[in-house]
Amino acid sequence: MNKPLHDNTATMIEMIKVSKGYPPDVVALKDVSVSIDSGEMFFIIGMSGAGKTTLLKLLCSMELPSTGLIEIGGQAIHTLKGFKLARLRQKIGVAYQDFKLLTDRTAAENIAISMEVSYKKPQIIKNRVRNLLEQLDLADKHDTITGELSRGEQQRITLARAIANSPTMILVDEPTGNLDATTTERVMRLLTNCNKAGATIVIATHDQSIYRHTSHRVMELRKGQLHSVARGTSR
Ligand SMILES: Nc1ncnc2c1ncn2[C@@H]1O[C@H](COP(=O)(O)OP(=O)(O)OP(=O)(O)O)[C@@H](O)[C@H]1O
Ligand SMILES: [Mg+2]
């Protein structure tokens, strides 16, 4: 596990009255305020177009909010530039809804990328990649070009790449959209283990099976606005 992003407070993510608009007149998020603790597993649900992906893109600073404040580990992310921003991004693992895999590279190469940029030893990378592929039932795809994999397989490689370097914060967009029930359980077991090891995890999903019986908090967005935040079991 990487060093924590901060030492003196239990809050990992603070969003205060965050809005995000896209030209000409799309309001993707409106006045969303939420605080997520360090070490929390947190679900974001809502209909298609509700703003789930937009929210994750703001948290990894792929996009900037139109108004409002976002702090990660006590740092206002809009103030970070250059080296400081790069350092923050290294501690965040993102599994994108549209995967963003290098489709002409193998599964193993895609997963290794985040570890290579942080100069991990080749043997450590090799072992970690094999271990993740095994946990995700993809051991036989180690040397397969990801462009040749099924969507469900690509989705799992995307997740493996996001968590390979044991990031402090993991953002996951629809991790189980293309998966059967057994593989969904595998994916959730892996994410739960990352969470138990200390990672803060935010999952955007439509898949009721992964949040219906959870004891973690579930936030519902409706048309870009926060509708409710509740414990999964009390829903
Ligand atoms: N780059 C963009 N330019 C213009 N509009 C955008 C852009 N990205 C998202 N939107 C719009 O913002 C709204 C929220 O989109 P977002 O992708 O966050 O929804 P979502 O909840 O992730 O949906 P889904 O469940 O389908 O993935 C939608 O109306 C979408 O069309
Ligand atoms: Mg989305």
Query: For the chain, which residues make up each domain, given as ranges?
Result: 40-60+93-234
Q: Ligand 1, from 54, 59, 202, 219: best to mutate by most atoms within 8 Å of Cβ?
A: 54
Using an 8 Å Cβ cutoff, are 16 and 69 in contact? Answer: yes
* pLDDT of 234: 44
3-state secondary structure at position 72: strand
The C-alpha angle with vertex 56 and arms to 208 and 125, in degrees rounded to 5, equals 95
Q: Are strands 11-22 and 67-72 parallel, antiparallel or unpaired?
A: antiparallel
Alpha carbons 105 and 147: distance in angstroms, whole number: 8
Render the burial of 152-162: b for 16+ CB within 10 Å, e for the rest.
Answer: bbbbbbbbbbb
pLDDT tens for 6-38 read 444 599 999 999 999 999 999 999 999 999 999
* pLDDT of 168: 96
Q: Which helix (H) or strand (E) holds 14?
A: strand 11-22
Query: What's 40-60+93-234's CATH class?
Result: alpha beta
Contacts of 192 (CB under 8 A, 6+ apart): 41
Q: Ligand 1, from 18, 19, 22: best to mutate by most atoms within 8 Å of Cβ?
A: 22
**Which ligand has its closest atom nearest to the C-alpha of 57?**
1
**What are the angstrom distances between the C-alpha of 135 and each of 46, 104, 157, 191?**
29, 23, 11, 11
Q: Name residues of the chain where pLDDT drops below 50.
A: 1-4, 6-8, 234-235
* pLDDT of 8: 46
Nearest residue (CA) to ligand 1, atom 5: 22
* Helix ranges restricted to H, the chain: 52-59, 82-90, 107-116, 122-135, 151-163, 181-196, 208-211
Nearest residue (CA) to ligand 1, atom 28: 49
* pLDDT of 119: 80
3-state secondary structure at position 71: strand
3-state secondary structure at position 224: coil
Ligand 1 pocket by C-beta < 6 Å: which residues?
Answer: 22, 26, 28, 46, 48-54, 97
Using an 8 Å Cβ cutoff, are 153 and 189 in contact? Answer: no
Instruction: Decide: residue 173, CB within 10 A, 0-12 exposed, 13-18 middle, 19+ buried.
Output: buried
